[in-house]
Structure 1
Amino acid sequence: MKRLIPYGLIVVGSFIYSVGLNAFISANQLAEGGFVGISLVLFYKLHILTGLSYFVFNIPVLYLGWRFFGREFIAKTFVGVVAVSLFTVFTVGFAQHVGDRLLAALYGGVICGAGLGLIFRSGGTTGGVDILARIARHYFGFSMGRLLFSSDVVVIAIVALILGKEIAMYSLVALFVSSRVIDYVIEGVSSSHAAMVISEKNAEIADRIHRDLGRGTTFLRGRGGYTGSDKDVLYCVVSRDEIVRLQKAVALEDEDAFVVVHEVHDVLGEGFSR
């Protein structure tokens, strides 16, 4: 039963994505990247259903994915492609004609990003260029991120030539918002902070963190690049609202301590997400 949960989430994510696509992107003559963007252009110019052309484009790509990566890899992608194709056809009536294309791009980007984030978090994809990029990375060593970005640039350039520069610009806004929402869904909105402390009083600092913040600490072995001497590096993860208290705790024990703080996502364990 647990093995079916990711497939159910992929279907739910596909529905959310299709609603955003039809309600705001397609209804307001905007576009997307990848195969969806090409399908939208065909819909605007030739009135071919977006879901139908999208599914047809993905047939050879799904076959390549199955040949190169096997049945297990392609299973979730197949569910995502079929679900998006069907829901995109069935949710055409959800269209919301917004007077401001910028608002349509923002709304569409948020909803589409939420759907795609749920699909990706469940281990699925929506096929298309993603599979081609995986093949290129696996066999030719190309950067997957650059290939995906390049494909979006090419599609948006086509949109600019066929539909106009204004629509292309608003479509870029929708793509940017969608990418940020995808990151939030996958990595989590409530990010935490990790701190690395280098001090001669790390033991005292750790004790104060335990007492004042109730957080655990870890000592890592390090070596000074200039002095060549071995020393402990204190590592601690705290929530966003505790970072100032952590800095104060360090300063109370050693004002000259060297502290590096950076954001971390999906922190699992005691005191954080399970």
Structure 2
Amino acid sequence: MITSITNKKVKNIVQLNKKAGQRRKEGVFIAEGIKMFLEAPDSYIQEVYVSESFLRSLGEGEKSKSTSVGEAATAVREKLKRCGYETANDDVFTKISDTQTPQGILCILKQFHYSFEDIMKKEGIPLFLMLESLQDPGNLGTIIRTGEGAGVTGVIMSKDTVDIYNPKTIRSTMGSVYRVPFLYVEDIVQTVEKLKRNGIQTYAAHLKGEKSYYQCDYRSGAAFLIGNEGNGLSAALAETADEYIKIPMKGEVESLNAAVSASLLVYEVTRQREGI
């Protein structure tokens, strides 16, 4: 059991939570909580840490009269046996956790790596989200999660977009980060041109848009360009769009949160493609 916050492993986990550079250097990231642990691919898990109180709660959970609680506790125990784990006292676990109310379990996983070719091989009619310079980790996580729900092919990001392995982003994905292909690119304008050469129409939510987003036909390959929370799309990226679209708004609202905009757009695609 780890009982000291000066333990070498404890110090490393704290740095992994805080620093994107450290995560990149080691090629890993941290996922916290029962759901994130259970959904994590076994082959990507490198280390697992649990708190003393969490281990006690597992035993209580298996004895619970609630079927769902008992099943969850059993599932966690079975996965812990497969993956192995280290126990930390509660004070140490609080130190390595990135949340104010830790659930008592976290794991260190290998980072995912996809190429443009990998993403293009995915089955189905292509649907991409192209993110430029997003800076809010919660926004990015919500976009990844919503993207999975709407069946996106992949999420492609400019290199200056917030780190997808930021702990806040990982929590916001609620497990979708394990399943949605994503890619950071050096030149997002060139990448958009590559998509267009593959027959994918590109759309930018833009003040110059004349059509409302629901007036376009997205039943063939489509990609939406989503810009920075404060500044929107750069002129260079906006100019690559085949069509500008607008999201109608009432009152004095000028724009929507990036994640909300992305959600509206991808679910309109789902509505059209499923003939709803």
TM-score (norm 1): 0.28
Pick the structure with more strand per residue: 2
Greater radius of gyration (CA): 1
Pick the structure with more helix per residue: 1
Larger relative contact order (CA 8 Å, sep ≥ 6): 1
TM-score (norm 2): 0.28
